[in-house]
Each structure stands twice: as structure tokens, then as C-alpha cells.
A and B are shown apart, each in its own frame.
Chain A
């Protein structure tokens, strides 16, 4: 799968795409980060204010941009596009799906916010993106680590930005995500939903690409000493879900996320008090306050493995516990092996 030849090739490609990307995304993104949240937030707490006020802010920031008249045309189109976007957002004229996924907001705002972290901070290298089908449902199963679920978000950006069809990954998240204010709102709008069989099946049925991290809190909240050791994969519910829908399972290994917050301790009492599954103590976290919550700038690699087909099994196979365990182990081992392989290839944690 991951032979030595792959690395330089991918390096080239990521550099190549970084050159062309700014023309398309950077500009739109950077403007919208400013424009959208500012405008949308401002509408709410200012009842009855003249409407012109909130919109003018992003505009004035825009003004220094078009002095070079050669690029004027491109800028105009972008300004017009930005205004059309703003107009749709302000009048509520956009669509969301049953799960609360706001495609427009995700593409224009949330992804643009994550992209700098993805490209500049963690410098994610993606391999094996061709293993993701360009249409139809598929279940991506990945390892989970890093105290905060940044790996899921990075995987979402990785799939969307690298896949030729620009597919959107729909992540399955823990119930804690949907209990926290603000977080639940953003998660739903970014296309995430609760990790349960009903939601996963509904998404796969509609031909969506679903991402799941079966280790759950066991994986993300494991101590630093156990890094890159896969935890138990729940009860293998994800396998039966994929079997019932006959969708392929794509194992995915993420290297680099383990080291962003080296968890050296767990304040269990505090965690119980706050209702969280764990309360991480890292060399920096509670001690340096908010500064300690900045993740370490590790170098990431995300590798999508070869898909495991499930369409060949009869429908009653989803109820067969032996088959479930076998398939779960197969997926688990494939992820673990790829993890080891990637770790051997890794030059350093940070470069």
C-alpha cells in the first residue's frame, strides 16, 4: 500500500495544489471569514437597527483590495458573489438537510476556517484518496486520538479538498457534542450527526460518505504512553450498519493527532464534576491557561486504505456476531498496520 515511492509524489501534489488553491479558495475564504460571522452575529443582537450598518463593515474592509485594476474583474465577481452570499444568509434563503447540514455555510465559512489549520499548522499529507468512491455511500473508519476531536475535522477537510469529486464527509459524533451549546449548533451545520445506527444507516442509504471513529472516548482520551495503540472498536456496530446498506468500509489511519495534546494525566474527579468523560492534563494545559490549549504543531499524515467490500454478504449476515467480529478485527488490524507503517516512515513528529 504505502511504499516509499508514494511520499515524494504526494509531496509534489500537495505543493502543486497549494499553488492553485489560493486562486479559488483563499480569496473567497478570507473575505467570508470576516464577512459572514460578523454580519450574521450582528443581526441578532441589534434589533431594530438600520440594516445598512452591519453590512457596511465587511465592505469597508474589502475596499483596499481592488487597487490593482488588472485583477479588478476577478475581484468584482468575488465581491458580487460575497454579497449574494450575504444576502442569502441575511434573508434566510438557504437550504439545510434533515440532519441540519448547511452545505453553503460549511463550504464557504467553516471549511475556510479549518483550512489554514489543515494546510499551515498541521501540514496534513493525504494518501490513498483514490480509495474513496466518487459516488455512492461508503463508511470511512478511522482511529481517534488527540484529546480534542480535531482529527475528525481534519479528515473532513482532507476528503473534501483532495477528492476529485469534492465529496463531503458526514461525521458521526458522540452525544456529548450535541449536548454542549454552540458546539452542537456548529456540528450539525457542518454535517455531523449523532453516532447511532439509525442516523448512520439513513446517511448511507442516501449515498453519503460517512466517517466514524469507533474507538470513541477510549481512543481520544487515552494517555500519551498508549499512543497509536488502537483501543477496542465498540461492539462493531459500524460493521453491521455497513453490511445492512452493502456499502464498502474504508479504513483510515491518522498519524500526528496523537501528539497534539500529550495527555499525561486525567483529573477524573473534575471530569465527573463537569460531566465530561475525561479531563486532560498535558504538560501545558491547565497550567498555562488558554495558551496551554493550543495544540502542538505536529505534522500529520492521513492515509485512506483499500476498501473492504460488504456487498457480497447476504442480508442476514448483519446479525451474525462471528462475522461481525471478524470484519471488525480485519478493519482494526488494517488500520493498526498502516499506523505502524506510517510511523516507521515518519521522519519526525514535527516535520
Chain B
């Protein structure tokens, strides 16, 4: 008899993709997809159960389908459709509590995978430049999604203590980007002009959607030989990009603003509904965050297919050119290099690269 996998948060694109992907795995018998609202995308033959993880009914779903693997993806920073921050927080925190309570009672559950975020580290100028899984944050996130993830991870640790027979895997994802990503950072990068904080150039790290799905798959199956897939892991693509580099690669001009002004602009943009400029995102865009992924490589045994740079390139392709496309700028420089007076009659071959 194969595995029965329960996935929460399937109304989001990433959840939907994961459900479709994991069904193709031979060891998976059935996938139970759970969310409050029916998804707009198809789930490829998975059983959709319309249930609210904030309600105790989720325990019934677990028992009914005798689920053995739970993949909790309903920990997110943005509301689905028109929800308020309160709903998001409740789904994140109360939802996780209920789900973990249900798992604790269920005798069949053998494996739990939780999608967390590197937001748990916060970002502050007094933190080390690179976070490992064991780095304690200097200043705990005071609110918003970051605080939710800290609380969610706290409950998951409690669950792991109470049910030592269940393999628990917490995956802390860096900023997820990709052609279809609907994360707050993706909507920020879609703004025609990027407001930035004057005097700060944060380091950013990205992880590609494809890698997110693959690593969730890896975590929800039995570990491969020589690897261990229970514990806490940072998941991010190799390398780092600065915000200024991102803006130039996207071809979007930046407007450096003083910190209070950024907050104000953020509020204005939120009112218009263009993007969510939450305090923790503002902190990310001020101080940046880089995590170490040695554990992911050595213990979990996963090598991301996309580096941070490749992830961003893939994302940039899907967004179309900005106001200052890098190709145009490069072309302008090449034209200047080709001016006969400067090149002295020779073709400017050196400047090609």
C-alpha cells in the first residue's frame, strides 16, 4: 500500500504545483489536497477537501483518509484573494496549532513537512552576515509574517518533542521567485520604479519555485541513502544578489528614499493595492539576509537546480523589460565604444564582454 499525502494550502499556485508533481511519484497512492477555498487551477486528480485548518474538522480528514504524510504549506505572508492580515495570521498560527493537534492524535501520521521561511532570522545590522540553522536572531521579529513563522516553528518543535516517532522536517525557504511566484517580493519587483531605502543596499537570496517543489518532495519521502530529511534546513540558491544589482538586471530604475519616506510610500502603495510593504519586508530591503545552505547540501542531500542569479534571471524573463532595459544600456555603451574617435579606427572587440 502506497503513501497517502495530505497537502494544505493548495489554493495557491505553489501548493497546486506540488500536488500535481507528487502524484506522479510511484510510492504515492493518494494525495488529499486541503484548503478553505477551491483552487482555480486543476489539481491533477487529487482529492480536494474543502476544509479550514483552523477548525478541528481537519482531524476528521486525517483519520478518514488515514494520512501518513502531512505537508503543511499554508504558512504564508500574503492573504489569498481579499483577506485581511488577521485572517492570514490566524491561518498561519491557529491553523498550524490545529493541524499539529490533529497530527498528534492521528496514529497513522509518520512524517510532517512544514514550509517555513528564512524570515525567522529577522534581519538586523547586528546579526552575522550569514545565518546558519542554529544562529539565534539578535532581535526577534516583532510582528507580521516573520513572527508567525517563529511561532509556527515553536509549535512544530513542541510537536516533535511530543511525537518523537514522527519525522519532522522544517524547510526555511529564502525568498521564493520564479515565473509564477506570487510572493510579496515578486510583486515588489514588478513595480515600474523600485523604492529603496537610501544608503542601504541589501543582500538578497532567492530560491526557484521548481527547487521549492523538488525539495518538498524530497522531504516528504523516505530519506535517500546517506541523507537525513528530518530537522531544520535553510533552502536557498547559491550566491547573493544586491538589490541594486537586481534592479539593474530587471532594468527598473530605483528611487532611494529616506527610511520614514519608504514607510509612507509603502502605505500608499498598499492602499492602492499594488504591493504589500510589510514591516518585515522593509527590514529585508534595508538590511538583507543571507543564509548558509551547507546543511541542505550535506545532510538533506539536495542540490538546487537554480542559483540565486539564475532564479532571478528566470524571474526577470517572465516580467518583461523595465524602463531601463539592461540590453539597451549595454547597447548604448557599445555604441559609445564604437565611436571612431575613441576606438581609433579599430573595432572595439575588448568591450564585448
Contact = CB atoms under 8 A, between A and B. Distances in A.
A179 B138 CA distance: 14
Interface stretch (A51-59, A260-268, A333-341): A51-59
Contacts of B327: 91
Interface in B307-353: 323-324, 326-330, 332-337, 341-344, 346, 348, 350-351, 353
A77 B350 CA distance: 8
* Chain B binding surface, main DSSP class: mixed
Nearest to A177: B125
Nearest to B128: A198
Interface stretch (B1-9, B59-67, B102-110, B248-256): B248-256
Interface string A312-330: 0000000000000000000
B127 interface: yes
B126 A178 contact: yes
A99 B129 contact: yes
Nearest to A193: B129
B246 A92 contact: yes
B350 A84 contact: yes
B128 A194 contact: yes
A80 B351 contact: yes
Contacts of A184: 125, 199-200
Contacts of A63: 341-342
Interface in B232-251: 239-242, 244-249
Interface residues of B, number: 56
Nearest to A52: B332
B245 A94 contact: yes
B344 A90 contact: no
Interface string A252-284: 000000000000000000000000000000000
B350 A80 contact: yes
B272 interface: no
B199 A51 contact: no
B329 A51 contact: yes
Given A51-B328, A56-B336, A87-B351, A98 B245 contact: no
B261 interface: no
B135 to A, nearest CB: 7
B336 A59 contact: yes
Given A80-B348, A98-B130, A181-B199, A91 B330 contact: yes
B201 interface: yes
A184 B337 CA distance: 34
Contacts of B247: 92
B336 A84 contact: no
Interface in A72-90: 72, 76-77, 79-81, 83-84, 86-87, 89-90
Interface stretch (A42-50, A114-122, A150-158, A211-219): A42-50
In the complex, which of the residues A81, A91, A178, A188 has the most CB atoms of chain B within 10 Å of its own CB atom? A91
B255 A185 contact: no
A95 to B, nearest CB: 8
In the complex, which of the residues A51, A66, A86, A89 has the most CB atoms of chain B within 10 Å of its own CB atom? A51
B70 interface: no
A97 interface: yes
B51 interface: no
A87 B332 CA distance: 9
A90 B337 CA distance: 15
Contacts of B330: 87, 90-91
A96 interface: yes
Given A87-B351, A92-B326, A198-B130, A51 B343 contact: no
A244 B339 CA distance: 56
B290 interface: yes
A291 interface: no
A96 B128 contact: no
A97 B203 CA distance: 9
Nearest to A102: B242
Contacts of B333: 55, 83, 86-87, 90
Interface of A: 43-48, 51-52, 55-56, 59, 62-63, 66, 72, 76-77, 79-81, 83-84, 86-87, 89-100, 102, 175, 178-185, 188-189, 193-194, 196, 198-199, 202
18 contacts: A43-B248, A44-B256, A47-B253, A52-B335, A52-B336, A55-B332, A79-B343, A89-B248, A91-B327, A91-B330, A92-B326, A94-B245, A98-B129, A100-B288, A179-B125, A181-B197, A183-B199, A188-B201
Kindly list the 7 A-B residue pairs having the minimum CB-CB distance in the complex, ordered from nearest.
A181-B199, A92-B248, A47-B253, A91-B326, A178-B125, A182-B199, A198-B128
Given A90-B330, A92-B248, 16 more contacts: A47-B193, A52-B335, A55-B336, A59-B336, A63-B341, A80-B351, A81-B350, A83-B336, A87-B334, A91-B248, A98-B129, A179-B126, A180-B199, A184-B125, A189-B201, A202-B292
